[in-house]
């Protein structure tokens, strides 16, 4: 209608509305009419609830506490390249990659469920941590526990540090596998010190991080690692309702010439059955077959929470990270998938949502005018600077900013130029990147532009704090 939302909200308030509406509030038809008169504009009243909303709210049924049963934990391996992620997972599940999953699907992401003393564990192994972050960036959360693999001879390396930040941003517990302990002359002390320096103080040093000494070669420590995972899972009491229409996440998918679309799905709640009608992103279909990911010859009729399967039946390959839901009829599934296809197209044309300080300032100001509840908002930052000294100085300055409603959180602070990994992390955690005396590399710059992440460059520290204070006060205005 051309009337800014903020003006609309103010007007509603001036009219004496006591309900403290915010930008997401529903407006009654009468209120719309009053406003239309007031602003002398015309509005086209669309169906209040789109099909998608209707179906989504149906999916997002809150399970009653009594229906929730314990489910296996979903574990992801993260770590620096060559520290032994692949070898450890292979050793744990008793296969080697070459012979494993022959009839499955080309593996980028591996996902298996194993059993240890009657307790199941699901493992999801993503190449590098890009996949982990990318999934999170799409709002898909497929990890309960992160196993951080650190080679005892190498200690914490740059990708280890990144992995730690990713896991922390995802707020998942971290279990450390201190790997390659079979190597002669290994003293784990240096690696332990590295961990402590990265805020993962080992429990044997009085901290809270479980560090298990492992070897993928001799298999030392593997039982210990599984037990530690199970204890961690027990502490967190992961639960799901197995007795409802299934939902899950597509991990990856591909079109195969003989089998059609094969999709690796992690079922997260409910029970998925052969013949179920499913919709996933802009794809839909009826589940035709489900195969075990570890032993592809095993065909499954139905699978419950925390189970990965290779599934056929989709019309087109769904995107990695898309949510899968069961709906009750194929016509509805088609309609949802197609309407999403159109919406996606429109969104691509319109460009993606920017995460920027200006946008945060706007949101904060919005919330202040129409406070929905007294929630504390977090403003996520990723710092890149020329030296460790600069980082310390910036952190110190930021530490002085104290605000009742907003918490400034530094998701990651590293020395050096802005990288693609930083932009991915910014995207996943809705963070703004502050680059102090450094610049983004070319790939990072173009990715940031593509995904709408903001990289702000500074060369004086107080400019950073000034901008942040202005953001918090909602007076940071868009850059020209
Ligand atoms: P990833 O890149 O983290 O997946 O590492 P890989 O599993 O591919 O392992 C990298 C190299 O380290 C390979 O040559 C492995 O054989 C070796 N490796 C992995 N785990 C161990 C271990 O526990 N002990 C020793 N000695 N070598 C290992």
Band (pLDDT 50/70/90 cuts) for residue 280 is very high
CA 87–ligand 1 middle distance (angstroms): 5
Mean of all residue pLDDT scores within the chain: 81
- List C-alpha distances in Å: 52 to 60, 269, 285: 12, 20, 17
DSSP for 239-274, written as a single string: EE-SSSB-EEEEEEEEEETTTEEEEEEEEEESBEET
Q: What is the pTM of this model?
A: 0.67
**pLDDT, tens digit, for every residue of 60-105?**
667 888 999 999 999 999 888 889 988 899 899 876 544 444 334 4
Beta bridge partners of 383: 413, 434
Q: What is the pLDDT of residue 51?
A: 45
Measured from the CB, is residue 80 less than 6 Å from ligand 1?
A: no
Q: Which atom of ligand 1 is nearest to the CA of 216?
A: 23
Measured from the CB, is residue 215 less than 6 Å from ligand 1?
A: yes
CB atoms < 10 A from the CB of 193, how many?
Answer: 14
Listed in order, strand segments (DSSP E) in 335-430 are: 377-385, 406-415
**pLDDT, tens digit, for every residue of 210-232?**
999 999 999 999 999 999 999 99
Residue nearest atom 20 of ligand 1, based on CA coordinates: 84
| Whether the Cβ atoms of residue 304 and residue 242 lie closer than 8 Å to each other | yes
Residue nearest atom 6 of ligand 1, based on CA coordinates: 84
**pLDDT, tens digit, for every residue of 414-445?**
888 998 888 988 888 888 999 999 988 889 99
Dmax over Cα atoms in the chain, in whole Å?
A: 82
CA 230–ligand 1 middle distance (angstroms): 24
Measured from the CB, is residue 216 less than 6 Å from ligand 1?
A: yes
């Amino acid at each position: 209608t051309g009337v800014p939302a903020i003006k609309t909200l103010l007007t509603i308030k001036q009219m004496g509305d006591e309900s403290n509406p915010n930008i997401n509030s529903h407006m009654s038809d009468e209120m719309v009419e009053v406003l239309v008169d007031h602003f002398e504009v015309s509005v086209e009243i669309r169906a209040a609830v789109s099909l998608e909303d209707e179906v989504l709210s149906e999916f997002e049924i809150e399970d009653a506490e009594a229906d929730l049963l314990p489910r296996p934990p979903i574990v992801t391996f993260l770590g620096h390249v060559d520290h032994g992620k692949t070898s450890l997972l292979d050793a744990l599940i008793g296969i080697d990659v070459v012979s494993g999953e022959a009839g499955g699907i080309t593996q980028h992401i591996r996902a298996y469920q194993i059993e240890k003393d009657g307790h199941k564990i699901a493992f999801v192994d993503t190449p590098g941590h890009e996949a982990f972050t990318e999934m999170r960036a799409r709002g898909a959360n497929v990890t309960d526990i992160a196993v951080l693999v650190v080679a005892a001879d190498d200690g914490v390396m740059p990708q280890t540090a990144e992995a730690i930040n990713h896991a922390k941003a995802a707020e998942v517990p971290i279990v450390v596998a201190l790997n390659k302990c079979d190597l002669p002359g290994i003293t784990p002390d240096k690696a332990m010190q590295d961990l402590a320096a990265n805020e993962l103080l080992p429990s044997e040093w009085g901290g809270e991080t479980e560090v298990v000494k492992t070897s993928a070669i001799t298999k030392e420590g593997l039982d210990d690692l599984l037990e530690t995972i199970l204890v961690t899972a027990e502490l967190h009491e992961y639960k799901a309702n197995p007795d409802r229409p299934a939902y899950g996440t597509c991990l990856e998918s591909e079109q195969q010439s003989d089998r059609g679309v094969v999709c690796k799905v992690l079922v997260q709640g409910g029970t998925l059955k052969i013949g179920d009608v499913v919709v996933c992103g802009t794809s839909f279909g009826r589940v035709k077959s489900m195969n075990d990911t570890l032993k592809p010859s095993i065909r499954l009729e139905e699978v419950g929470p925390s189970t990965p399967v290779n599934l056929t039946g989709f019309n087109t390959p769904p995107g990695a990270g898309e949510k899968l839901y069961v709906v009750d009829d194929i016509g509805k599934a088609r309609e949802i998938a197609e309407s999403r296809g159109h919406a996606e197209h429109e969104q691509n044309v319109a460009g993606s949502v920017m995460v920027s300080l200006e946008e945060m300032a706007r949101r904060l100001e919005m919330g202040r005018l129409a406070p929905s509840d007294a929630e504390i908002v977090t403003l996520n930052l990723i710092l890149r600077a020329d030296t460790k000294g600069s980082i310390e100085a910036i952190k110190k300055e930021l530490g002085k900013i104290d605000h009742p409603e907003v918490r400034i959180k530094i998701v990651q602070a590293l020395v050096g130029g802005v990288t693609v990994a930083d932009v991915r992390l910014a995207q996943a955690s809705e963070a703004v990147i502050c680059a102090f005396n450094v610049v983004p590399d070319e790939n990072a710059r173009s990715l940031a532009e593509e995904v709408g992440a903001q990289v702000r460059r500074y060369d004086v520290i107080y400019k950073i704090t000034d901008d942040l204070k202005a953001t918090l006060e909602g007076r940071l205005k868009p850059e020209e």
